Structure 1
Amino acid sequence: MTWIDLRDDGWGLDNLPYGVFSTDGPDRRVGVAVGGHVLDLAAAARDLWPAMAGTFAEGTLDRFMARGRAVWDETRERVTGWLTDAAHERAVRPHLVDRDAVRLHLPFTVADYVDFYASEHHAANLGRMFRPGQEPLTPNWRHLPIGYHGRAGTVVVSGTPVVRPCGQRRTPDGDIVFGPSTRLDIEAELGFVVGAPSEPGTPVPVEDFADHVFGACLVNDWSARDIQSWEYVPLGPFLGKSFATSVSPWVVPLAALERARVEPPVRDPRPLPYLDDAGMEGWGLDIRLEVRLNGHAVSRPPFAGMYWTAAQQLAHMTVNGASLRTGDLFASGTISGPRPDERGSLIELSWAGESPIELPDGSKRTFLEDGDEVVITATAPGSGGGAVSFGEVRGVIVAPRAG
């Protein structure tokens, strides 16, 4: 029970995601989304939890995330109490802001950005396109979570326009040209945000995942496929990926996803010991995404079938001694399911341009055109029987700038 009017729309007490917002002025502060409101945590804490007021007034989640799991859990417990105990209504209600009236910002300082390649269906689809007649997966794919280091400085919050990138590409005739990407794509992903850092030289085992990862958000890892295909051999993605990565403004805490936990797929061969999660509760997650292109749903990727979990990705990312920093963001890679309408990228949905996507207005797409808008949303089951919403990550493609 709560004294706030709530709808069953994913923004109830099961969720309580964290973000950073402002209203009329420039001041940014930490907030929690609940129903149609944002609870100003800095203001509420001044009255009810003075020791934490400064942490929530900093304008990013950085300091709060760095405090670690015990503080995250205590904060969630206190906020839930404030919103359910009628004795707190008089103190809390003045600090509720209409969610439609706030401006949302990038919620944390991105320290490092890593993107993985964890969907077997996505990896196999791309293998069939580009290596026909060969084994779709590379020999190492089922042995380790493959990933690449991205550019933290171009991670942007939902709603930021995405400028079409320029770069080198090879034409079908074999000419090397420079210009705007003609095969601009999306990648529907889930991102995980590190809160508690780790010591250099000390790997983080899979069982310590929840002690370091603060929460999850939506990610669209925009991709210029023509630039990527020309540059990626032998060192992997670079300019085809580094121009923009969009994230949703609300970070859903891991504690809100307990009900969503499911067993991941069976791994064959069995992973090496540092990646082996057999015998422990896995970190597969029953999260369902939806991808809309110009308002039309084109895909509904299921996250539950991802081959490698975020816990395994974190273990692999640190097994060589690489340390974690507060604000590290690592993403799942494109989420794709077994059905054609569950593919999380346009290159799969159009099968590399061979089968254009038809939109309700009669237009067709293989890749993105200037003016196109992509919106990715997601929901998961909540512990109280309701839904947990991730909100949305939105982006509009704009023409390249003259340089």
Structure 2
Amino acid sequence: MYEINETHDPNLKSWVESANDPSTDFPIQNLPFCVYEFGDTEPVLGIGFIIGDKILDIYGCINDELMQNEAIAQFASFRFWTLNAIAGFAPGVLSDLRRQAVYLLSEKNKDRVAIAEHLYSISDVRFEAAFKTGDYTDFYCSIYHATNVGSMFRPDNPLMPNYKYIPIGYHGRASSIVVSGTDIKRPHGQNRSDAEKPPVFIPCKNLDYEMELGFFVGKGNEMGQPILMSEAENHIFGVCLVNDFLAKNFATTISPYVVTMEALAPFRTKAFERDTDDPQPLGYLNDEGNKNFGGLDINLEVYIQSEKMRNENIEPHLLSRSNTKDLYWTIGQMLTHHASGGCNLQTGDLMATGTVSGKEKHERGCLLELTWRGTEPLELPSGEQRRFLEDGDEIIMKGFCEREGFRRIGLGECRGRILPAD
């Protein structure tokens, strides 16, 4: 687990002025990774750090010897176009790269001309998925979400008996993970409204979103070799926002920015405090470090903007606010349990927490909960109602961390708009 160091100093400022805006998600204390494309006639891909409204090209800085990192330099000449090429390096290598980037971008550095040649405006690029993801696992780690959903479908037994013993998850399709801004076409599915008649194949009626936090595997493990709880976070590269569109689990939108575990060091918190009558995690999921610092204090927000709202210039409407510190299981426990049977995790694998919900209604992370299975429709500022997502609706997810004595950092946005079915 990373410790707080000089790169988290709240007094650090950058000569990239936009990074000093108090409202920015990307101050010099953050520096999330991204993969981007720029140019129209002959587009070029790059891997960079986000700083304010700019991107610092990592490969360009290494090739021009503005950064010295032997482990990563071997990839610079080949210019691999995903983070898979560097994410598996030891934490110390990645920390060294972060420190060098902070030095280059700090206002104390007056030698800026050469560095500026490797800065690109975010508005001039197109973001790509940061990793080539081979496997995707979605967990179910919010006890509040699980209890709410269970209460709708199994009111006499809302929480399954194994929920408090293992982080429950399922394997999803990695091929349908798309980067923020990608439109999502409404899927078809079988529907049977009359028990006396066969089902019909129609566009999905109850299309929903799920506000989740995702995390990418950095260093993998050999098949047959579990990962100890004490070592789990050495295998986690960073986090992103995830919108798992819910119908037939057909599409997953992720934010393009990967905030590293080191950047999140000031925002660690204790794991979820279980009720006194709850069982403690089994030994392989129990660790003092995880108990004291395994949680993450990340604020999550969900907004909606309907087609009518866009046409009438009405700003996106806030649907919910939740926080990852309310997750029953930590990301370290998710990863350790996943590998506990000897499953070989690989660099770039994506895991997600499942819907992040809190105790209160305004903290519910999906429409299924907010409208209580469609029985309590939401009112939008345009005069419309929503039980589930309609064609033209855009869901915007945001995430950020705040703590007294440290600089606010953010995870950016994750956007997806619903298109009509064919």
Residues 113, 329 of structure 1: 8 Å contact kept: yes
CA distances 1:101-125 after superposition (whole Å, capped 9, x unpaired): 2111111101100000000000000
* Counterpart selection for 2:344 from 320, 323, 331: 323
Residues 230, 289 of structure 2: 8 Å contact kept: no
2:59 corresponding residue in structure 1 = 42
Hey, what's the Cα distance between the residues in 1 that align with 2:169 and 2:196? Answer: 29
2:38 corresponding residue in structure 1 = 23
Task: Please state how far the C-alpha of 1:170 moved relative to its aligned partner.
Answer: 2.9
Task: Please state how far the C-alpha of 1:171 moved relative to its aligned partner.
Answer: 2.0
CA distances 1:283-316 after superposition (whole Å, capped 9, x unpaired): 2111111100111111111111100000000010
Task: Please state how far the C-alpha of 1:74 moved relative to its aligned partner.
Answer: 1.2
Q: What amino acid sits opposite 1:138 in the alignment?
A: M
Task: Please state how far the C-alpha of 1:158 moved relative to its aligned partner.
Answer: 0.4
Moved more, 378-387 or 107-116: 378-387
1:171 counterpart = 2:185: no
Percent identity over the alignment is: 41
Moved more, 329-338 or 168-177: 168-177
1:283 corresponding residue in structure 2 = 294
Q: Equivalent residues in 2 for 1:222-237 (5 A)?
A: 222-224=245-247
Hey, what's the Cα distance between the residues in 2 that align with 1:262 and 1:169? Answer: 44
Task: Please state how far the C-alpha of 1:10 moved relative to its aligned partner.
Answer: 2.3
Q: What amino acid sits opposite 2:256 in the alignment?
A: P
Q: What amino acid sits opposite 1:298 in the alignment?
A: L
Q: Equivalent residues in 2 for 1:327-342 (5 A)?
A: 327-342=348-363
SS in 2 for 1:128: helix
Q: Equivalent residues in 2 for 1:1-400 (5 A)?
A: 1=12, 2-5=14-17, 6-8=20-22, 9-24=24-39, 25-47=42-64, 48-49=66-67, 51=70, 52-53=72-73, 55=75, 57-84=79-106, 85-132=108-155, 134-171=156-193, 173=195, 175=197, 176-224=199-247, 240-241=248-249, 243-267=250-274, 268-278=278-288, 280=290, 281-294=292-305, 295-381=316-402, 385-400=406-421
Moved more, 13-22 or 83-92: 83-92
Moved more, 354-363 or 68-77: 68-77
SS in 1 for 2:200: strand
TM-score norm. by structure 2 comes to 0.88
Hey, what's the Cα distance between the residues in 2 that align with 1:174 and 1:316? Answer: 44
Hey, what's the Cα distance between the residues in 2 that align with 1:29 and 1:13? Answer: 20
Q: What amino acid sits opposite 1:7 in the alignment?
A: D
Task: Please state how far the C-alpha of 1:276 moved relative to its aligned partner.
Answer: 1.1
Hey, what's the Cα distance between the residues in 1 that align with 2:56 and 2:349? Answer: 25
Change (3 A) 1:279 1:387: closer
Q: What amino acid sits opposite 2:299 in the alignment?
A: R
SS in 2 for 1:78: helix
Residues 144, 316 of structure 1: 8 Å contact kept: yes
Residues 145, 316 of structure 1: 8 Å contact kept: yes
Hey, what's the Cα distance between the residues in 2 that align with 1:100 and 1:386? Answer: 24
Task: Please state how far the C-alpha of 1:383 moved relative to its aligned partner.
Answer: 9.2
SS in 1 for 2:112: helix
Residues 257, 382 of structure 1: 8 Å contact kept: no
- Cα-Cα RMSD: 1.6
Hey, what's the Cα distance between the residues in 1 that align with 2:321 and 2:165? Answer: 27
Moved more, 87-96 or 317-326: 87-96
SS in 2 for 1:91: helix
Q: What amino acid sits opposite 1:29 in the alignment?
A: G
Task: Please state how far the C-alpha of 1:53 moved relative to its aligned partner.
Answer: 4.7
Hey, what's the Cα distance between the residues in 1 that align with 2:254 and 2:194? Answer: 33
Residues 27, 59 of structure 1: 8 Å contact kept: no
Change (3 A) 1:174 1:354: farther
Unaligned runs of 5+ in 2: 1-11, 306-315
Change (3 A) 1:244 1:54: farther
CA distances 1:77-136 after superposition (whole Å, capped 9, x unpaired): 11111112414423212211112221111111011000000000000000110112x132
TM-score norm. by structure 1 comes to 0.92
Q: What amino acid sits opposite 1:381 in the alignment?
A: E
SS in 1 for 2:81: coil
Change (3 A) 1:305 1:249: same
Residues 214, 353 of structure 2: 8 Å contact kept: yes
Residues 14, 384 of structure 1: 8 Å contact kept: no
Residues 193, 215 of structure 1: 8 Å contact kept: yes
Hey, what's the Cα distance between the residues in 2 that align with 1:69 and 1:38? Answer: 22
Unaligned runs of 5+ in 1: 225-239
SS in 2 for 1:86: coil
Residues 111, 328 of structure 1: 8 Å contact kept: yes
Residues 155, 247 of structure 1: 8 Å contact kept: yes
Hey, what's the Cα distance between the residues in 1 that align with 2:73 and 2:225? Answer: 33
1:232 corresponding residue in structure 2 = none
Moved more, 261-270 or 386-395: 261-270
